[in-house]
A = this chain, B = another copy of it.
């Protein structure tokens, strides 16, 4: 089979410049009728359809939003991002949009995937999740002017006054502040905190809410640490709970909360108030209170940033809106 004709072939046959061919394809109104006809004849003669299709693909609306799907990690809290994707798909559908979901093992592989999708004009916008310091994706997207929103704020900069890109996030410290205030109101003043090792933006933010609420109440209690695992969490607090060192425990996640709950049952204090974070099916099944991230509101915020309050097409940053911070809700059980 012969090689597919290129825009250069069309320019040569029509006796015009490459730019003129491009103008005929993209902005025909600025090209003289006689020139346009010559180019169109050359296009027909050469059968220059594929590129025309590609051009139309590039410039037409795809009514599609791209999102990378992380590998299934398991664990209690894995459902939060899935709930966000469910909510995003539903709300996007209400606005006539679909989601293109793709997998990639590294940010580099994700960029390669995004490059294919961008070249083929298959998405009108992209949602990025799990952003981190020095994330190569946000710069790549900004350079190509492909509209995008990150779920997760750009940590380490003044992301409210001068956000480097549009973002949506859940106010973690507001969640643990509410949880701590509730625990102070129903239990003693010693509301302990079980958090992850320091250094994660999300974890430090959730710890901050606990510190602020404790400081506001003039109360003090220990801060325990565990990685996000039920057994590790149980072991981390077992001795302290057996010694009755805490009146309640606020946790950075539901996995940690389940561990604390199991330690409390083992210590003979099954009614110890424990509050998790994420409100997953697991804590619901066990009757443990938790902070609900409201993924539906995160999804609504994402689409507002990309499409305005009621739009049906991507028009990023309507009214200069650059971030949405969702206040989570404490679910008391």
Contact = CB atoms under 8 A, between A and B. Distances in A.
B99 A102 contact: yes
Interface string A36-57: 0100110111010110110011
Nearest to A102: B98
- Interface range for A: 35 or more
Interface stretch (A89-97, A188-196, A243-251): A89-97
Interface in A65-97: 69-72, 74-76, 78-79, 82-83, 85-87, 89-90, 92-93
Contacts of A104: 93
A126 to B, nearest CB: 13
Nearest to A79: B79
Number of copies: 2
A141 interface: no
B103 A89 contact: yes
A180 interface: no
A93 B78 contact: no
Contact of A99 (B70, B101, B280): B101
A281 B74 contact: yes
B86 A230 contact: no
SS of A interface (majority): helix
A75 B28 CA distance: 55
A18 interface: no
Contacts of A79: 78-79, 82, 281
Contact of A102 (B93, B102, B284): B93
A47 B40 contact: yes
A293 interface: no
A183 B313 CA distance: 56
B281 A75 contact: yes
Contacts of A332: none
B44 A53 contact: no
A69 B53 contact: no
Interface of A: 28, 37, 40-41, 43-45, 47, 49-50, 52-53, 56-57, 60, 64, 69-72, 74-76, 78-79, 82-83, 85-87, 89-90, 92-93, 98-104, 113, 117, 230, 255, 258, 280-282, 284-286, 295
9 contacts: A28-B47, A37-B44, A41-B41, A53-B60, A93-B113, A99-B102, A281-B282, A282-B285, A282-B286
